[in-house]
A and B are shown apart, each in its own frame.
Chain A
Amino acid sequence: MLRAVIWKELLELSRDRRTLALVVLMPLLGLPALGLLTGALYHEQVASVTVFYEDRGIHAIANWLASDIAQRAASSGIKVSVDIKAGSPKPGCCDVYVYLPRGFHENLTSISKPLVAYIGKLLASQAAESAYYAARGALGDLSQRVAVERVEVLINASGLEASPELILHPLEVREYTFKPSGAIASPREQLAAETARLLEFALIFVVNPAVVYVTDAIVGERERKTLEALLATPLGARDVVLGKMVASAIIGLTAALADSLGVLVFFWSLGGSHVLPFSLLGLHALVSGVLVFMTAAIIAPIASRSPSIRSAQATGMAVLSLATAIYFAALFTDISSLPAALKVALLVIPFTHAALAINSYAIGSMAGVAVHVAVMTAVALAAVAVSIRLTDPEAMILVKE
């Protein structure tokens, strides 16, 4: 009996190009489009940088600084136009300026006087922000160069055998990243963990089509005047709602596969597909599928009692916003490090477990993956049971406005 409803749902969906596009294209293109568009626009912006100097004798230093700024910007994929001018900065001269004031040349060759340089950046300009870091880095290089020269002067004066490098950098720091088990994480594992955060964020693109599909499938049936006759058949209200949920799970799986493919495309476009383990991709697909079914099961009973598609979608969007907030926060927050009260509050929200399942994989905890996927499955099944219990033809037909 359920098969009849599923067959009808999938047949209708296959002819609904817009919804189909939303189900497949949004997860497929969402992340790559977001990443590529942001990347492309970021790299297309051009910032103007001017190096101003007062002392005639430091034209060569200004030149060196300009060249270092351009080199640093290029290596970060930022476009800058660098200029050198004698004099002081004028309003509106550029996005970022570096100013070497009067006396800079004299102090450069002294070992007892401080060197002062000024750096200015335009307010609320992302281009200026990026160029600022290049200029800041170039000044750091200059400072380092001057420091080495000053130390060499001191070594020569003292007659000691010493290396300026060892004096300036006496401490060598060796870094390691380790897993909860204490084992050292390989660079590949570190990249996979960073990738996992992105995959948690990519879950947003899977939840959206599920909400849109379920609300339309249930409320739309009433608005298109096809519901009442259907409820009077042997299928009944439970089969109708359950059939739509199963259909949404199939659609969700499609969306999940499209989303996983989208993630692959995204990494491929960045030239880093080799850092994405296929097992992580498989887990992402599994978590996405369970997530979609769970979302559909949560939304279905609400949708069946909504007076219109608009009202059902508004409720769905509220649920979606909650999920989006969690997946966005997962990009920057480590849920397991939060205070207990906050952690419990987040764990009560079923969507959190999708992010935690992927996160558990990233830190190598397969038990964690199993627990969080099991929680999601249990919530989905409980929601289905509630849905079946609450399904009432009268409530579906005679909805209170």
Chain B
Amino acid sequence: MDKNPSGAYAILAEGVRKAIRGREVLRGVDLKVRRGEVHVLAGPNGAGKTTTLRVILGLAHRDAGAVRVLGFDPEGSGFERVRARIGYLPEDAKPYERLTGWENLYFYALAYARGDRARALAIARRGAELSGLGADALSRRASGYSKGMARRLLVARALMHEPELAVLDEPTSGLDVFSAVRLRGVIRSIARAGAAVLVTTHNLLEAQEIADSVTFIVDGRTLCSCSVAEALERYGAANLEEAFVRAVEDAQGGDLEGAA
């Protein structure tokens, strides 16, 4: 296990197991995410993607296995400081509806800047720019936002502090085509700038467009955690969607129905 915070891997997880209310949700998840790459975590509904993200972020306790995020154990003391270097967008997150778009950004900016108002202001301004919502929309309460506007605000909120690790759960869900294209561009650009980006998505064709590496998980187990090229080669597939279907079929003896 790489203990160096400046090592090549932003996330290293090995043999992670986790049971929730007696049901084993993760039964051995391995995940490696390099700095400067976009890594896609793919799996059917209920495969354990969200639980994996929560374990990585220290929001859920693992029962077994080892996890290092930016060189630190998410369950160790002092991880709260590391969180300032991480951006997280949960799948079903919503903004504070009684706050304006700008206030939503500024509140999180204060948290990332650990109370430094000048820095928080700079972070929130970057968020406003990233969201592309414009001053008029940002001065309005988020309760009046469309689903797409709210999602753009939340994506900006997760990325505005230029995190070393961005964890995005279904980031393009609810976005229109133009916003989704724009967001994919943003994701690629932050990876190019050196950040690690972990994305979960059901849209594997979209994943192929942005991903450098991929992890397939089914029933809480990792089937494959490798580069996109290696995944395509391993499953003899033309694209990630085909590779994912074959990976699941292989794992379940050709019965894809069971995975869906």
Contacts and interface: CB of A to CB of B under 8 A. Distances in A.
Interface of A: 1, 3-4, 7-8, 11-12, 15-16, 224-226, 228-236, 393-394, 397-398, 400
Given A1-B115, A4-B115, A229-B93, A397 B80 contact: no
Contacts of A231: 59
Nearest to A15: B98
B81 A234 contact: yes
A234 B111 contact: yes
Contact of B60 (A3, A4, A234, A398): A398
Contacts of A12: 96, 98-99
Q: 10 shortest A-B CB distances, which residue pairs?
A: A4-B110, A232-B88, A225-B94, A233-B111, A15-B98, A234-B84, A228-B90, A236-B80, A394-B60, A234-B83
20 contacts: A4-B111, A11-B98, A12-B96, A12-B99, A15-B99, A225-B93, A226-B96, A228-B54, A228-B59, A228-B90, A228-B93, A232-B57, A232-B86, A233-B112, A234-B81, A234-B111, A393-B60, A394-B60, A397-B54, A398-B20
A46 to B, nearest CB: 50
B94 A7 contact: no
B89 A229 contact: yes
Interface in B63-109: 80-81, 83-84, 86, 88-90, 92-99, 103, 107-108
Given A229-B88, A232-B57, A232-B86, A11 B93 contact: no
A400 B98 CA distance: 28
Nearest to A238: B80
A8 B57 CA distance: 23
B76 to A, nearest CB: 13
A224 B94 contact: yes
Most buried by B among A16, A225, A235: A235
B13 interface: no
A5 to B, nearest CB: 8
A233 B113 CA distance: 10
In this complex, the interface size class of chain B, counting residues with CB under 8 Å from chain A, is 35 or more
B114 A234 contact: yes
A228 B88 CA distance: 9
B158 interface: yes
Given A224-B96, A225-B93, A397-B54, 9 more contacts: A4-B111, A228-B93, A232-B90, A236-B80, A393-B60, A394-B54, A397-B59, A398-B60, A400-B21
Contacts, number: 85
A232 B107 contact: no
Interface string B211-244: 0000000000000000000000000000000000
Contacts of A393: 58-60
A230 B112 CA distance: 11
Contacts of B98: 11-12, 15-16
A7 B106 CA distance: 11
Contacts of A1: 111, 114-115
B94 A235 contact: no
A394 B103 contact: no
A286 B40 CA distance: 56
Given A4-B107, A4-B115, A398-B20, A232 B59 contact: yes
Interface in B21-67: 21, 54, 57-61
B156 interface: no
Most buried by A among B21, B86, B110: B110
A230 B99 CA distance: 15
A6 B149 CA distance: 26
A232 B90 CA distance: 10
Contacts of A7: 107, 110
A236 B84 CA distance: 11
A397 B103 CA distance: 24
Most buried by B among A7, A8, A231, A398: A8
Contact of B59 (A4, A15, A394): A394
Nearest to B94: A225
B204 interface: no
A233 B107 CA distance: 11
Contacts of A226: 93-96
Nearest to A229: B93
Contacts of B138: none
Contacts of A16: 98
Contacts of B59: 228, 231-232, 393-394, 397
B154 interface: yes
B121 to A, nearest CB: 13
A158 B89 CA distance: 106
A217 to B, nearest CB: 12
A226 B61 CA distance: 20
A204 to B, nearest CB: 28
A229 to B, nearest CB: 5
B16 to A, nearest CB: 14
Nearest to B58: A393
Contacts of A3: 110, 115
Contacts of A400: 21
Contacts of A229: 88-90, 93, 154, 157-158
Nearest to A231: B59
A394 B84 contact: no
Contacts of B108: 233
Contacts of A236: 80, 83
B74 to A, nearest CB: 10
A3 B157 CA distance: 19
A235 B111 contact: yes
A172 to B, nearest CB: 69
A105 B243 CA distance: 115
Given A226-B96, A397-B54, A398-B60, A8 B90 contact: no
